[in-house]
Structure 1
């Protein structure tokens, strides 16, 4: 069996905990190159996997014999590196948010069309077991019409997760572009679009910097979203949930209430209007907390799309749609107005 040769660009925590071990778990993948501006990080992984280390992604793309790359860099570098890799004829798995503007996202999509290669954005929430089942339930009409929702994604902040701790690029606007809304809010935006099966058309938001010192990006945000069919709800993203992580979503529907990742024992709960209820224990959601990390299924989906020559489940167009909601939230905060997506 011919193995797909993969390079990882950016060897921080998301690469260390998700991309690299999940590639290594694929029988048809060989990790052949690692790149990071901190040479020791790239070299450490290169030593572990018998690969080559680089400090320049341009040099890697020019020299390395690879089929695909993971882009695990600061947000501001997602688009330029992804475009360079696509232009070099490589498939690309890019971390979220895919870009820092609609124009960058369009340029990435154009590079896909020109190169004929795959681009997938690493929105892992779609692959959580409770979320997959919830999409089926909502699409079946079992709950009747969906009226509203609330969704949250919050934890104590990236300083406990990032390779650079409190000095992380996550807190620097020139590298991160956006804070908790880009780190966490864009995940939930993508999830809500996936679960509801429709787009958001209006956004109102408060996006604030309140909890983190020496930071130039937001750390607490609350958005009100309205879908094309008139479903309304709230999305909260925060690096200031100083206790346990909250990754819950609740839908309020005609025939009952659907709770996702809102209970420590049951990942999906339905409380019906008629008094009946369902409890499903479908396994833990992915978490950054030590000892609670499970496979994200992102890598297997990406590799599968290459092997089977199918469109990745979160392609560039999908990534852009989720990004646009986040951009609208920023615009709403800046203008103090409701913004159409």
Structure 2
């Protein structure tokens, strides 16, 4: 087991670069922020002052720094693919922010570049490590609600945004910003590849030329379906009590980020049903009363560590990637299916 620190270079010091990647690594004993890159001199000066690291104006300059082993790409979404491939070709391992890419073809080229360079490509799908998600996955895998047949996710908010993520040329939009987290979780909960999708994308409240409201219906090969709404144009008060609803053959799980209620029954404690063909004296909908049980628990699942724990384990201890590039590529494929036929194709190409 190697104790050598990983020298990291972080490209882009915006909300994700500074607020997530810098904060997640700056106080770790197994990482050292060697350098950063950002076009704004004020941001570079802040990094030099607070992190005691070197700073560069561009990725090209940063890649000349030989102490950097791992490059984190936190640039605008449309630049993720070109920037990641540039770092891979320079012989660096790469962490790339979500979305991995803006097209499936670009995602494929990133995977190919990593294999050719014999370097690791880590996609920052950090919600795969979230204990709320590991709880939901545990509920499904436990069988307590039976065979999963439907998923509902509702994420409402009302935010009139006007930053770079409201522009298609940057790969913006709610589906590329918030969407990858929840599309990823839904894909893994479905348990089978997505084969059919209907998407409705609209721009309601924000500036720019991309969607701020996403509604999608997904069907997996195994027949399980998912309804997903992620909106920056819904002011719902009070907020819905549950973000997630998981529907199974003998139970339902309703969960937000803190707590969960499961209504379920044991199928071996109910009699088999046989349909009645003909009139009945009761003149009613014939049904059985079921021995329902209810339990309310914290929606907190197993601790599988965090994203940068896994990056370190892979690079130093030859552990397996918790988020493979191929699984992140599947997110891009499903996002492309959601966009198909809408007014927001999302095929921005970065000019680098």
Task: Give the corresponding residue for 1:209.
Answer: 203
* Deviation (angstroms), 1:188: 0.8
Question: Per the alignment, in what secondary structure is the counterpart of residue 63 of structure 1?
Answer: coil
The 8 Å contact of residues 67 and 90 in structure 1, kept in 2 or not, is answered as: yes
* Deviation (angstroms), 1:283: 5.7
Task: Give the corresponding residue for 2:47.
Answer: 45
What is the TM-score when the length of structure 1 is the normalising length?
0.85
* Deviation (angstroms), 1:91: 1.3
* Deviation (angstroms), 1:212: 1.0
The 8 Å contact of residues 120 and 315 in structure 1, kept in 2 or not, is answered as: yes
For 1:154 and 1:41, how far apart are their aligned partners in 2? 32
Task: Give the corresponding residue for 1:257.
Answer: 252
Pick closer, same or farther for the CA change 1:109–1:210 going to 2, 3 Å: same
* Cα deviation digits, residues 285-336 of structure 1 (max 9, x gap): xxxxxxxxxxx92222222222222342112111110111111111132599
Deviates more, 1:17-26 or 1:246-255: 246-255
Question: Per the alignment, in what secondary structure is the counterpart of residue 62 of structure 1?
Answer: coil
Question: Per the alignment, in what secondary structure is the counterpart of residue 306 of structure 1?
Answer: helix
Structure 1 gap ranges (5+): 160-165, 285-295, 337-341
Structure 2 gap ranges (5+): 266-290, 346-352
- Work out whether 1:77 is the aligned partner of 2:71: no
More helix, by proportion = 1
Task: Give the corresponding residue for 2:268.
Answer: none
The 8 Å contact of residues 250 and 259 in structure 1, kept in 2 or not, is answered as: yes
The 8 Å contact of residues 39 and 54 in structure 1, kept in 2 or not, is answered as: no
* Deviation (angstroms), 1:45: 1.4
Correspondence for 1:175 among 170, 174, 178: 170
Task: Give the corresponding residue for 2:142.
Answer: 140
Task: Give the corresponding residue for 1:235.
Answer: 228
For 2:344 and 2:173, how far apart are their aligned partners in 1? 19
For 2:39 and 2:15, how far apart are their aligned partners in 1? 14
Superposed counterparts of 1:192-207, under 5 Å: 192-207=186-201
Task: Give the corresponding residue for 1:305.
Answer: 314
- Work out whether 1:275 is the aligned partner of 2:254: no
Task: Give the corresponding residue for 2:182.
Answer: 188
Pick closer, same or farther for the CA change 1:142–1:196 going to 2, 3 Å: same
Superposed counterparts of 1:60-75, under 5 Å: 60-75=62-77
Q: CA-atom RMSD, angstroms?
A: 2.4
